[in-house]
A and B are shown apart, each in its own frame.
Chain A
Amino acid sequence: MDYEPVIGLEVHVQLKTASKLFCGCSTKFGALPNAQVCPVCLGYPGVLPVLNEKALTLAVMAGLAMGSTVALYSKFDRKNYFYPDLPKAYQVSQYDEPICLGGKIDIEVEGTRKEIRLTRIHLEEDAGKSMHFKGDTGVDYNRTGIPLIEIVSEPDLRSPQEAYQYLKELKTILEYLDVSDCNMEEGSLRCDANVSLRPVGEKKMGTRAEIKNLNSFHNVEKAITYEIERQKELLSRGERIVQETRLWNADESFTRSMRSKEAAHDYRYFPEPDLVPIVFSAKEIESVRVSLPELAQRRKERFMKDFALTAYDAEVLTAQKDLADFFERCLKYSKNAKAISNWMMGDLMRELKLKDLGIAQSPMSPEHIAGLIELMDQGKISGKMAKDVFLEMFGTGKSAQEIVSAKGLSQLSDSSQIEGVVKKVIQENPPSVQDYRNGKKNALSYLVGQVMKATQGRANPKMVNELLVKELEK
C-alpha cells in the first residue's frame, strides 16, 4: 500500500527582547548558571509578573507578517505539570485565546508553490535547562521566563523537503522583521514535528508521533525522513503506530521513544490570575501593520525592477536579510549593481564560506567591495588583477586603492608608456608580425600576450590591442 506523510510543525521562537517576558532579568545568552533569575522567574510566592510590551509587539508583528488575525482579546493561562526545569510547576502560556489565529506561509518545492496554513501563534515563557551530570541533574533557570512565540502549522506539509522549506521561509520572515535571532545553536529557534502516515486518498489522519530535539533544519528533514520510513515499516508488518513523543538522536540518525513522556498529560489549563487580558483596537493593530518592514518577497521584486537583477540573483541576495542589506549598502558607493551582485555571490560568499563566516562578519566592508568595482570600471585595474586584489582585501581588510597603490599594481593606461612596450615587442617578434601582416589575424593575441607579460599584466588590454593594431597596420 502507498502511504502519504502528513506533517505539522511546532516552532518555538525566542523574541528579541533585552529582558524576560514577565520580569526584568536579562535574556543574554551564555551567562553563568542561575545568574539571570529573580523572585518572579523563580516562582516565589507573592510575586507579580508584568508583561513585557516589546515582546507583545514582536508577537503581533510576526502574526501580521504571516497573515494571521490578531485577536482583539487574548489572555494567558497556566499550563500545569511537574518537571525540574519548571520552578513554578506551571508554564505561563496561552490556551484558548492566543494572540494570533490562522495565517499562512508560502513555500516553493521543486518549482511548485504551495501555501502552508498556520493554526495559531501564541506567546509563552520558556522553561529552564537541565544539565545531566553523573549521578544527578543540575538545573539552570536562566532561560526560565524568556519570551517565546510558538508558531503552530496545520498538518499541510507532505514531505521532509516541504518541512525544510517551510522552516527556511519562516526564518527569513522572522529575520526580516528582526523579531528573533533565529539561532538554533543558542536555542532561539526550536522545532518539533508531528508526523503520521495515511493511505493515499484517505482523508482521516493516522496516529502521529511527535519528534523532539531537532537542532538544525537539516536534522528536521532527516528526522522526518527517518520517521516516515519507521512508520511505513511498522504499518507494512501490520503493526499499529503508537501516539508518543520520540527523541531524535542526531549523532546516530534515529528516533527513539521518550518513555518519561508516555503518560497522557492533563495540563489542567486555567486563566493566569496574575496577568490581565490583552485588548487591542483594530486601529492599534493597523498601526503595527503599516510599520512592518519590507519583507523578502517584495524586496526581491524591487531588486529585479530597480537594479535589473535576474530572478535568481535577487532570490539569493534577499533570502537573508543581512545579505540584502549588505548589497544595498554597496550601492551607496557604486552604481554597478550587476557587478556588486556578482562579486558578492561569487568571490565574497565563497571566501566567507571557506572561513565559516556570515556576511555580518565579512572582513570586507560594502565600501571596500564598491571601491574595487569602481577601480575596475574606471579601467585602473583589469578583471584578472581585481581577483588578486580581492583576495588580499579579504585577507587584510585594506581597501582596493591602498593595495593597488602600495604594490604599484595600477593598470597602465598611459598610451606613451604602452606604446614604448608595443614597439619593443614588435621589434623582438618578427615572425609573428609577419604572420599578422600575411593575414593571420590570430597572431595578434600572441603579441598582446607579450605586451602584457612585459608589463606584468598591468597594461590596459584594450589599449594594448588598439596600439598594436595601429602599429602593425602602419
Chain B
Amino acid sequence: MKLIVCLKQVPDTTDVKIDPQTNTLKREGVRSIINPFDLYALEEGIKLKEKYSGVVIAVTMGPPQAKYALEEALAIGVDQVFLLSDRAFAGSDTLATSYIISQAIKKIGKFNLIICGKQATDGDTAQVGPGIAAYLNLPQITFVRKIEEINEKFITAERLTEEGYDVIKSKLPCLITVVKEINTPRHPSLKGKIKAKRTKITAYDSKELNCDLIRTGLRGSPTSVDKIFTPPVRPAGEILPANSENIKKIAKIINKEIEIKKICP
C-alpha cells in the first residue's frame, strides 16, 4: 500500500503567550511544530503500513525550516519525505497550496490513499485536504474518525458529524482527512530520531514540480485577509453554590438569555 500524508508546520499555540497588557499574541521565539491534527494523519498512515505493509510518504509545503517537520515525520516512522519549498510559493492561500501539493503528488505517481489532518491550527480553514482531492479528481471523506475496512480497491470509513457519524464507502485511490478520535499518535523513537537526523532532506522547487507560476504564491491566491483581531476575552463565569435560592437565580438568568436569543437570534 502506498500512503501519502500531507502535513503542515504551524506555530505551537501552547507556546504562544498572551501579552496581558495589549491582549495580543506574543509570537517572538514561538516554536514551530507539526500541526497537531496532522500527527493523527501520520499515525494512521503508519498504522496502515504496519498492518498491510507498504510505504508512507510525507509531503509538506513551506519555508526551508519546514524540513524539521519532515525530520519529525521520519522519526515517527514515515519512509520518504517531500519538502516543497520555493520563493514562488510564499504567500500561497489554501487554493494555491492545494495546487502545489497536488503537483507534488502527481510527481510521486501511483498511490492508494492520501491522509490529511482535518484542519491546521493556525488558519482553521480545513480547505487544503479537499482542495488536493479536487485538483487530483479524487473522491474524499472528511472528518474520518475510524477506518472500518480498507483493501486494494475500497475504503470504508466513519465520518464524524455533529449528530453522530456516517459510514462511507469509497473506491481507492481517495483522500481522507482525520479527526483526533481516530488514534493516539505515538512518540518518535530514538532510533527514528537518529535515522531522521542522518537523512538529508532536499527541497523541490516550482520547476521540479512543473508548477504554473500564475497559480502559486500571492499571484495564485484569490483569498485576501482583511483584518486580524483578537476576539474579546470572555468574562469569567459565575459559580453559585447549589441551594434552592440559587436554582431560582440560575433559572432567571437562563430565561433572560433565551429572551435575548428570541429577539436577536
The answer to whether A binds B is: no
- Please report A residues at the B interface, Cβ cutoff 8 Å: none
- Please report B residues at the A interface, Cβ cutoff 8 Å: none
